[in-house]
Amino acid sequence: MDHDDDLGRRFAAGDPEAMREAYDRHGTLVFSLCVTALRHREDAEDAAQQVFTRAWRSRATYDPSRPLGGWLTGITRRVVADVGAARTRQVRTVEAEAGRLPREDAAGDPVSESAVASLVVRQALDRLGPPQDEVLRLAFLEDLPYPHIAERLSLPLGTVKSHVHRGLAALRRSLEVSGV
Amino acid sequence: MSELSVTHDRPGEDPAADLAVRLHREHAAAGLGGPAPVPDDVAAGLDSRSLKEVRGTLRVLAALDAPAPALLAPPAGLWDRIAADLDGTGGGRCGPRLRRRAGGARGPRGGA
């Protein structure tokens, strides 16, 4: 979810290379959100396909001064809602024909802000690389005090703190540039 | 109270990050979810840039604490389907070039 190049501008201008780059850069987030929300892999694949084709066809409406990832996330929300509504209609029809009450969970879950933020941050954490990612995991996923982390990783305490601060700053930027 | 501003002069020093971590840990220890709020009196002591950093870091820490949905790379054939879709139904000049680039066998390059 980087916003440090002109990908958004090239995408808006209709550069086919930018379409591929947008997919490479944001495909995992879009697909993961679709799977999480729809809880069905094939439906998620269809939804992710719709997100990118819809994005490309409506690229004229994209403002390249805004993060491309955030715009794609917005499209993902709408596509997931559309797929969920279609599934609900389908289930209602089938259940009505069978004379049963419709299931309430066919629509899946809406794509929540917290799910998007969590995925963006986890993805950014994976990209940090060692030892920064490990320091952050130990500090905030395992809740180890900094001196323990320093001892475990054989690093000076000041270095551990530096990794924490720089790592947190990188994760913060990932949220900012993704427009979450 | 003088305004706190972020300093990065010495390794291991970042008062805004340290403040955010402290607020987050207090918030989590109280059993509360989501980003911790910045108390008014604390916010009043921060310059606008530092306050923005503290709030952003609190969102990061809340996101790390939240149950994480699985991060899944798209299946290898998805790009080909997208390219074919744009080829066949009005993808404009993007379609044919995308299809050539996809080459029928090329999957995503390591995901997003």
Task: Check pLDDT > 70 for residue A135.
Answer: yes
Structural domains in chain A (count): 2
On whether residue A104 sits in a domain, the answer given is no
- Are A82 and A154 contained in the same domain? no
Instruction: Give the CATH number of the domain where residue A123 resides.
Output: 1.10.10.10
Shared domain for A13 and A48, answered yes or no, is: yes
Q: Do A62 and A138 belong together in one domain?
A: no
Which of A52, A87, A122 corresponds to the end of one domain?
A87
As for the ipTM of the complex, it is 0.74
Does A97 map to a domain? no
Note the pLDDT tens digit of each residue in A53-95. Answer: 999 999 999 999 888 988 999 999 999 988 888 877 777 777 6
Q: Is residue A102 assigned to a domain?
A: no
Write out the residue range of the structural domain in which residue A51 sits.
3-87
Q: Are residues A65 and A137 in the same domain?
A: no
Helix A113-128 and helix B48-65, axial crossing angle in degrees, nearest 10: 90
Of all residues in chain B, the percent with pLDDT exceeding 70 is 66
B80: closest chain A residue by CA = A49
| Closest Cα in chain A, distance from residue B98 (Å) | 6
Which of A87, A103, A125 corresponds to the end of one domain? A87
Q: Which of A45, A114, A120, A133 to mutate to test the interface with B (most CBs of B within 10 A)?
A: A114
CA-wise closest residue to B11 among A9, A133, A159: A159
Same domain for A81 and A141, yes or no, is: no
* Percent of all residues in chain A with a pLDDT value above 70, rounded to a whole number: 89
Interchain contact B14–A (C-beta under 8 A): yes
What mean pLDDT do residues B41-48 have?
93
Residue A55 lies in a domain: yes
**Shortest Cα distance, chain A CAs vs residue B52, angstroms:** 10
Amino acid at A135: V
- What is the Cα–Cα distance from B99 to B72, expressed in whole angstroms? 24
Predicted pLDDT of residue B98: 59
Q: What is the pLDDT of residues A147-164, one digit of tens each?
A: 999 999 999 999 999 999
On average, the pLDDT of chain B sits at: 77
Give domain status of residue A101, yes or no. no
B17 vs A: CB within 8 A: yes
User: What is the per-residue pLDDT for B42?
Assistant: 94
CATH number at A9 reads 1.10.1740.10
The DSSP line for B48-100 is HHHHHHHHHHHHHHHHHHSPPPP--PPPTTHHHHHHHHHHHTT-TTHHHHHHH
